[in-house]
Chains A and B, each alone.
Chain A
Amino acid sequence: MHPAFSVIFLTTLIGAGQGLFFALFASQSYAMVHVLPAHDGGFYAGGAFIALLFMLGGLAAAVFHLGKPSYMFTRAWRGMSQWRTSWLSRELIAMPLVMALFFAYIVVQYFGIDADLYGWGLPGQLSLTVGIAAAVASLGLFLSTAMIYAAIKFLQEWASPLTVVNFFLLGTASGFTLATAYAASQGAADLVPFYGAWAVALTVAGFLTRAASLIRNARIKRKSTVQTAIGVRHTRVEQKSMGMMGGSYNTREYFHGRTAAFLRAVKWIFLVLAFPVPVLLLWAGLATGDGGVLLLAFAVQYLGLLFERWFFFAQANHPQNLYYQVVG
């Protein structure tokens, strides 16, 4: 497939934003049961605000994926109507829902709004409730985003549960790395090891599952062949003409247009930038407590994930390509 930058930015930005929120919310709930030190609402609100900015960035990228950006205002609302069958529609519902809940969480945390909802006599029950709702919606968003790709069964590189696992792990890994840098920048040194350890764990887990999908994809057995495409049973069927000379949507949308060597290079770049380098930088940052190094860890990991997403799209081989082999 032809990797579109709108979707590359959309999926990576919202992944990091949601991961950051998970990190903040996890530490808040741990603090409520006194496993982690508590912080004031401003800390959580600030972090969630950054998460919201990432979501808005993703939304802005998504606008450029539409046929015309104006469709965002004139037609996109209809995109929520087919949630019964379409994962894309489910994503279009989950995304504003997650953003609204993030916003509610920011408001509740920033203004310290609270209520003794469950009669525990503890502070933070309202923000906990809003946070749980946001986390559940966010899981739904992760699932819908990944299922958009995993649900197309004939895009065999994508049609695997690994796609969902990878979207989740890579998103949360980058989000926890960002949370580590955020905590360091806010002087919340007592949270840095918690976020940092999870960031490393998620990055390692993400490396394992992404490697698993690379191995899986390297040995895919194609179900469609040129024989099934035109229905002629002969071991040697060769296209002589695709019916046009100047190219069309079919030749632009479904081919990445790069060499195999370029693809391999991108694969190694993301394997290095998204996993080992950030882990090393996280380790260095945790050891020295240097917030700048932690921020660098996030920047490198995010860059690596951009390459990862580019590769994710480019690697997928659409069966329609069987009809577009030769210009002739």
Chain B
Amino acid sequence: MTQLALVIDLNVCVGCHACVTSCKQWNTSGAAGPMFDDNPYGRDPTGTFFNRVQTFEVGEFPCTETVHFPKSCLHCEDAPCVPVCPTGASYKRKEDGIVLVDYDKCIGCKYCSWACPYGARELDEHQKVMKKCTLCVDRIYDETIPEDRRKPACVISCPTSARLFGDVHDPDSEVSIAIRENGGYQLMPEWGTKPANHYLPRRKTKMHIHEDELTRADNPLRKEDIRHETSRETTLDDWLM
């Protein structure tokens, strides 16, 4: 079985919103029709987005750390949003695990969005159907696109390569290795949704210096004058010990 997913490295994300804009650009231009945008240059711009970058502050000043946190549909393996849909418009693809909405079946009842604990679904207020991240399903299988670019728009646009894309069920994929070796985790594990997308935590590169490392116990300058008696059979060790 295949489960396509994103792995987002919070250690690398700089919060530039390139994934947000490239996502909007790709998905508003597709066959499914535009994602609405009201007052894009006005006072209260609002519209449908599949992906957002949020910012959190961890700790208390002066020991704070800024965490930029991109959030989109996590393509949960046990997606609570799918079984609640009365029309079958929401579904999870067997072949690759992508959770999708069939815009032609959706009645805009919003029930699926209530059933997603992550707030990953948005009702398009012009088309009146539910929308969410499609993992660029209209891009990743498009054979007219060069093979190395058959990835979600957000992954390609990320200037720091904070976003990885692949099959989390294949233990040898780039994403599985990243999750396994870099402590990848899921959001809100308490609800048993088993999100396919994972996040890699902030990681610190630290050097440990002990007190005795600051003053060299074996300072050669101090040892300089300590000489062993020389013998006739002089060896190199006599000078080193």
| Chain A residues engaging chain B, CB cutoff 8 angstroms | 1, 65-68, 71, 75-76, 78-82, 85-89, 92, 148, 151-155, 223-224, 226, 228-232, 234, 236-250, 253-254, 318-321, 323-324, 328
Contact = CB atoms under 8 A, between A and B. Distances in A.
Contacts of B119: 250, 254, 318, 320-321, 323-324
B86 interface: yes
Given A79-B86, A234-B59, A320-B119, A152 B114 contact: yes
Pairs of residues from A and B, 8 with the lowest C-beta to C-beta distance, nearest first: A67-B108, A320-B119, A67-B128, A85-B83, A89-B86, A243-B52, A79-B86, A246-B44
Nearest to A223: B190
Contact of A318 (B49, B54, B114): B114
A241 B108 contact: no
Contacts of A65: 109
Nearest to A4: B110
18 contacts: A67-B129, A79-B87, A82-B88, A86-B85, A88-B84, A89-B86, A148-B111, A152-B114, A229-B188, A238-B56, A243-B55, A243-B71, A246-B39, A247-B44, A249-B48, A249-B122, A320-B116, A320-B117
B86 A86 contact: yes
A89 B186 CA distance: 30
Interface in B22-77: 39, 43-49, 52-60, 66-67, 69, 71
Contacts of B105: 75, 78
B12 interface: no
Interface in B5-32: 17, 20
A318 B20 CA distance: 24
Determine the main DSSP class of B at the interface with A. loop
Contact of B117 (A68, A154, A324, A328): A154
A234 B58 contact: yes
Contacts of B165: none
A24 B198 CA distance: 57
Contacts of B188: 224, 228-229, 319
A224 B190 contact: yes
B56 A230 contact: yes
B58 A237 contact: yes
Nearest to A232: B58
A228 B60 CA distance: 19
A246 B187 contact: no
Interface in B166-190: 185-190
B57 A237 contact: yes
Contacts of B46: 244, 246-248
Contact of A82 (B49, B86, B106, B185): B86
